[in-house]
Amino acid sequence: MAKIDFGGIVEEVITSEEFTLEKARQVLKNEVVAVVGYGIQGRGQSLNMRDNGVNVLVGEGPYAWDQAVADGFVPGETLFSPEEAAKRGTIIQYLLSDAGQKEMWPVMKNCLQPGNALYFSHGFSIVYKEQTGVIPPADIDVILVAPKGSGTTVRSNFLDGSGINSSYAVFQDATGKARERTLAVGIAIGSGYLFPTTFEQEVYSDLTGERGVLMGCLAGVMEAQYNVLRKNGHSPSEAFNETVEELTQSLIRLVAENGMDWMYANCSITAQRGALDWKDRFRDAVAPVFDSLYESVKSGRETQIVLEASQAPDYREKLRKELEVIHNSEMWKAGAAVRNLRPERRKK
């Protein structure tokens, strides 16, 4: 394992140069990976493994059956019902939604054979077992690889050759080869490197990140700034450009390239000074919100909200209406117009 200094803390990571794709193929050569759930994450991981020469079966119901067929999985050969695929697999990737995992567990647990590996890409079901009822038998491996991105990105990064970072964990090692299986699948799905975690740490950080900087906080802060600019007489196009477009099309790319300090160094003195003077005020203002968020995640309140909401029969209709509010807001209608004015789009 490579030892990497992360800001003064040395951690061990597994790179695709150390644990090569050829090694992953050797580890998996006698395995059948059954991917139960052909949603966004299941599709990306399935296709990447298949392209990497892994023996992959898909278990899916009516929801994404046609998509799996369109992607080349053959009914009765490589495409089955979730239950049948699980029975045929030796490594079962349990990639249904969190609520779906809870719902299917009474059936799934009876499909598992001694020596199987039950694979997750999220620690939700195992960590919050009191809510989900997911308690695996003692005679199987229980493992995790969690890509740091959506299944769409898992696939697109694989196709452009860049890969994606993933965390990995072993919750239960019944066979003595759980870690090797975990790393092999992690490389096979397209991970550029893997860093160790636990099921608990993965789900706590993931749920905090989604509700925080990655999605919830990001959207909320953008709305707040846009609204202030509009309230003070700025046009929708100006407000959107100064809030979203400049971030996504310029500044965040500099951060991704070489860090926050690099982005600051490549901006004007006016921008540098203002940002440095205000960043601590924003940090201190939101810190209590993040403390409250983390406690809500750790206590299980957030997962209970998710399970109750997603099990409601009208959840998808309610979700559609919530997303329509965002889509039809002035801010994001302005965003659509701004995006259509990008030079690469005008050339089409």
Question: What residues are annotated to the active site?
Answer: 122
Number of other residues whose CB lies within 10 A of the CB of residue 28: 24
Identify the H or E element spanning 92: strand 91-94
Identify the H or E element spanning 12: strand 9-15
- On whether the CB atoms of residues 239 and 334 are closer than 8 A, the answer is yes
Could you tell me which of 209, 257, 194, 206 has the C-alpha nearest to residue 11?
Answer: 194
Three-state SS for 75? Answer: strand
Number of H helices, E strands in the chain: 20, 10
How far apart are alpha carbons 81 and 214 in whole angstroms?
A: 34
- On whether the CB atoms of residues 186 and 161 are closer than 8 A, the answer is no
How far apart are alpha carbons 247 and 265 in whole angstroms?
A: 15
Q: Answer positive or negative: Cα dihedral of 280, 282, 287, 290.
A: negative
